[in-house]
Structure 1
Amino acid sequence: MPRADRLFRLLDALRRLPAPATAAQLAAETEVSERTLYRDIEALRAGGALIDGAAGYGYTLTEDPALPPQNLSRLELEALVLGLAELRHLGDTDLARAGEMALAKITATLPESRAHQAAHAVLASYRMHKRPAPPVDLSLIRQAAWDERMMRLHYCDRDGVESDRVIWPLGLVYLDREQMLLAWCSLRADYRMFVIARMRAIEVLSDSFRPRRVPMLRDYTAAIHKRAHPKADAQGDLLG
């Protein structure tokens, strides 16, 4: 791992782990020896990061000059904490971890009183029934959508009929009970919402549909709006 990437990873660990974080914890997070970890701590300090602590006691990041100061109200903090906590219930471990890291980074830039409020928010989010893990790797789908790469999908529909399709992934949709993928289906030559739980296998292809994802999302949203408000659109057509 390049040294710069390792130092960023160490900063993330210092923000995220309960303070003070031990050298053993930080070394495990950054996948280095404790001797290398001590050198990395000194490198961050030399770069301006205020890190309290020492070997045998643990380390606490008291200020991170790499990030701009945040001025959030208590209600904004509550909304942020509650919204990111919701990610834990989606069954997507990568997304949940990203939310935790984002909150840690934001909290690291807050004044002490606001950081205390973020750590002890009065709002919480729980679910009695845990959503099962998705049968496919959602990170591959997200990356394919961002890269505008076609995918091969082996899918089982609601009637139990299995099929192989080539799709253009446009975006993931998280509903209260289901996770869905909005995509253009080459088999149906139309937009389709695929239930993640019914996916049997996925493969990212080298074929690209760039730069059509954003225009297609815009067209799909417009079509949904038109179906939901046919009278308003008809009146608009007459007036236009």
Structure 2
Amino acid sequence: MSRPERLFRLMNALRVLPKPVTAARLALETEVSERTLYRDIDSLRASGALIDGAPGLGYTLTEDPALPPQTFDRIEMEALVVGLSDVRQRGDAQLAQAAESALAKIAATMPERLQRQIVHATHMVYRYQAPTTVAPDMSRIRTACWDECALDICYQDAAGAITHRRVYPLAIVYIDRGAALLAWCCLRQEFRKFMMWRMETAEPTDESFRPNRVRLLRDYISQMSKAYSEDAPRKA
């Protein structure tokens, strides 16, 4: 691990770990000896990071020069906490960890008064029913969406039939039971919504559908909106 990468990892550990963080824990996170860790702490302080603490007491990042100062009012703070708390409960492990890290980074840019509002937010999210198990590897599906590359999936439909399909992944949506993939299905030549918990496998391919993702997603959303508006009067 290069020194810049190590210092970056140390800063992130100071942001996200419960405070104060012991030298032993920080050394473990950055894979160095405690002696090297003390030198790295001094380097971060020299670069402008305000880090309180000392050997034997633990360390707390009280001012982060790497992030711009943020100004949120109280209701905006509550909205951030609620939104990221919901992601932690509904998302897969990688997404949940990212939500926790994001909130810690936001908090690190704020004065102590606003940090206390995050810790003691009055809004909370708790879902009694756990979401249905997600796909085997959500990170692969996310990456395929970002890279605009086709996926080969093995999918079990509601009737239990298993098919192998190539799809163009457009977006991941969260519904009551869990997550679903909005995609163009090359097998059926139409838009389909694939429930993540019914995917047996999802393998990335070298086929790119760039730059069609935005157009395809717009058309799919338009199609869903039209179907909903036509169905709404019948339900009324």
Give me the TM-score of the superposition, normalised by structure 1.
0.91
2:29 corresponds to 1:29 = yes
**What CA deviation, in whole Å up to 9, does each residue of 1:162-218 have, x standing for no partner?**
011111111101012131001111100111100000000111111111111111111
d(CA) in 2 for partners of 1:129 and 1:226? 31
Give me the whole-angstrom Cα distance separating, in 2, the residues matched to 1:115 and 1:39.
Answer: 28
5 Å-filtered alignment, 1:19-98, equals 19-98=19-98
Aligned residue in 2 for 1:190 = 190
Contact 1:91 1:133 in 2 (8 A): no
- State whether residues 170 and 181 of structure 1, in contact with CA within 8 Å, keep that contact through their aligned partners in structure 2: yes
Aligned-partner Cα distance in 2 for 1:123–1:186: 43
Equivalent pair of 1:68/1:109 in contact (CA under 8 Å): yes
Residue 120 of structure 1: aligned partner: 120
Partner of 1:233: none
Distance in 1 (CA, whole Å) between partners of 2:86 and 2:8 is: 26
Q: For residues 133 and 37 of structure 1, do their structure 2 counterparts lie closer, same or farther at Cα, with a shift above 3 Å needed? A: farther
Partner SS, residue 18 of structure 1? coil
Contact 1:166 1:186 survives alignment (8 Å) = yes
Task: Provide the C-alpha distance between the structure 1 equivalents of 2:216 and 2:36, rounded to a whole number of angstroms.
Answer: 49
Structure-2 separation of matches of 1:142 and 1:219: 20
Distance 1:187 1:121 in 2: 48
Aligned alpha-carbon RMSD (Å): 1.6
Call closer, same or farther: CA 1:224–1:127 in 2, change over 3 Å.
closer
Contact 1:153–1:166 (CA<8 Å) still a contact in 2?
yes
Letter in 2 for 1:63: E
* Alpha-carbon offset, residue 132 of structure 1: 4.6
Give the unaligned 5+ runs of structure 2: 231-236
* 3-state SS of 2:201 partner: strand
| 1:226 Cα deviation from its structure 2 partner | 2.9
Q: Name 2:4's counterpart in structure 1.
A: 4
**What SS does the aligned partner of 1:188 have?**
coil
Aligned partners of 2:133 and 2:178 also within 8 Å:
no
Unaligned 5+ runs, structure 1: 231-240
Give the deviation of 1:4 after TM superposition. Answer: 2.1
- Partner SS for 1:193: strand
Cα distance in structure 1, aligned partners of 2:132 and 2:13: 28
The code of the aligned residue for 2:4 comes to: A
Cα distance in 2, alignment partners of residues 24 and 131 from structure 1: 36
Percent identical residues: 54
Q: How many residues align?
A: 231
> Is the aligned partner of 1:225 residue 2:228?
no
In the other structure, the counterpart of 1:235 is none
Residue aligning to 2:101: 101
Q: Which moved more, 1:126-135 or 1:21-30?
A: 126-135
TM-score by length of 2: 0.92
Partner residue in 2 for 1:158 = 158
